[in-house]
Structure 1
């Protein structure tokens, strides 16, 4: 029986560790040929000497399981290196079919203490990195579609975060980047649909280098997604990877421009923000006094957890 992704080529960025690693292994398990990208810096802030070891270890794991993979250790936030990544997939396997953007760093700080470099570096890796690879992949699919005279197969899975959905006080750079990724995803979904390409975003929750502080109080069972004693770890990255495999597959042809939250055996589909209330002026233009009379009592009576900047979204508040 053919695998769902058999004959397809995938790129996974930031695939040397954590969620990206689990995604690369899952795509390979489903039959995809995988280009494993990871810059290889040891620090979650994007610091330390780059190394080819993380990406190569994942490549070797895929090959040991009978799959096909090749490593790329470039920086996806560099436009030319992102282009080289996409070209590597094309040169090695003939074409690119799936792009999973996962690479990222953290430089947490409250907004009043954050430096310009801490802001720029996180926006660069997350948001620009997503754009760079998307740009070159989209150009590839558009050219193939024009040559074929019709739609081709293309899948983009981007990585957003609950930090965008619910706010994260100490991560204004990260939350802004993840919100921007959702905007990039929906724009891309609309732009590429006619070429047969879908673009979706996920908000994963998992125990990785990026979240070691967030989940420090939640003990991790040994053994990955399911420990040796049978206890599942709801924060294992392996819980995220199957959704990415599905979104990358032909079965998800009707899923486009979506935002999904995933962790620990749960998938939640997020909607665009809805209008909670609407007020019309009794005159031709609002006055301060009229707005005060309408909005002040409205917000005074509205529970804090129902506001846009609520600390809880979809019942997914961190304990």
Structure 2
């Protein structure tokens, strides 16, 4: 990856001249995204708080962001580190300010930061619920809000941007995941936020999309150790985080013009457009149903409908 950064830094690249912010970019998917953007000519603000996989403080706080930024600079690219907590108003504001202060502009925001505190629902504590929703959902909302305010001001000043936002959901947000009620709820919320932001910000030249990636990261390696282990025989590593980044880079570039309010699943070499909730079989009485009638027609409609996707980790439908 470092060699790719070096090769592309001197050339045009898909994101040449763009300034890209990536949250949670010290490791895993975020690191892969930051390096991939740099390889396509972007100047990158690398955000990472440097916490453990469960969000608890680590002695190396802030360190991973600078390590990735230094890796990009060593390869001939441009990057600065940001170690603030983007789930706080001050941290999110300083993130946008870091891009503007270092490079004078902001073109793309990739919301990626997160951690997990997995537990079965009946054992899930309120603190574990709040912590995960805070980093995943509030940690998307606040950077997006501050970036959007900047882009709106630019548009009103006659400098309509070609801005991009890439939010990070999950298969857990699309279908649920056993033992991850907090994480699933947060990632489902990211999807709703994406749809609203895409509708509201289009007038200001901002496109907003979301991805649901599957890759080997600190958040997944313990849960899916057997199926996500890196191959040792030189075959394609389907779970490498770098497989997801090309789509993110494209969505964050001007090449994605006209694509907004969409959700993409990305895993290995597969990209899927997720179509979400759509009206299925329906019945209209033209008046109020009795409970018995409502139940009868509901069963008839269910018989016509397709089977739902299985919840992750349930084993059976």
Flag whether TM exceeds 0.5 (same fold): yes
Cross-structure match for 2:218:
209
Shift of 1:53: 1.7
CA separation of 1:219/1:150 partners in 2, compared to 1, >3 Å: closer, same or farther?
closer
RMSD (Å), alpha carbons: 1.9
Shift of 1:293: 1.9
Once the two structures are overlaid, the 10-residue window that deviates more, 286-295 or 7-16, is 286-295
Cross-structure match for 2:136:
126
For the 8 Å contact 2:212–2:265, the answer to whether it is kept is yes
Cross-structure match for 1:277:
281
Q: Tell whether 2:257 aligns with 1:248.
A: no
Alpha-carbon displacement from aligned partner over 1:186-212 (angstroms, at most 9, x marks no partner): 111111111111000000000001101
Cross-structure match for 1:9:
19
Cross-structure match for 1:23:
33
For the 8 Å contact 1:151–1:194, the answer to whether it is kept is no
Distance 1:189 1:32 in 2: 23
Residue number among 262, 269, 288 corresponding to 1:265 in the alignment: 269
Residue number among 257, 276, 287 corresponding to 2:290 in the alignment: 287
Cross-structure match for 1:105:
115
Distance 1:230 1:168 in 2: 31
Structure 1 stretches of 4+ with a deviation exceeding 6 A read none
Residue number among 74, 87, 90 corresponding to 2:97 in the alignment: 87
Shift of 1:219: 5.6
Cross-structure match for 1:138:
148
Question: Within 5 Å, which residues of 2 pair with 1:218-229?
Answer: 218=227, 220-221=229-230, 229=233
Cross-structure match for 1:236:
240
Residue number among 30, 43, 46 corresponding to 1:33 in the alignment: 43
Once the two structures are overlaid, the 10-residue window that deviates more, 47-56 or 179-188, is 47-56
Aligned residues: 303
Distance 1:109 1:230 in 2: 35
Cross-structure match for 2:6:
none
Residue number among 52, 63, 72 corresponding to 1:53 in the alignment: 63
Shift of 1:311: 2.9
Secondary structure at the aligned position of 1:210 is classed as: coil
Q: Tell whether 2:307 aligns with 1:306.
A: yes
Distance 1:193 1:151 in 2: 11
Cross-structure match for 1:197:
206
Shift of 1:292: 2.1
Shift of 1:141: 0.6
For the 8 Å contact 1:203–1:261, the answer to whether it is kept is yes
For the 8 Å contact 2:19–2:107, the answer to whether it is kept is yes
Shift of 1:272: 3.0
Q: Tell whether 2:190 aligns with 1:181.
A: yes
Secondary structure at the aligned position of 2:35 is classed as: helix
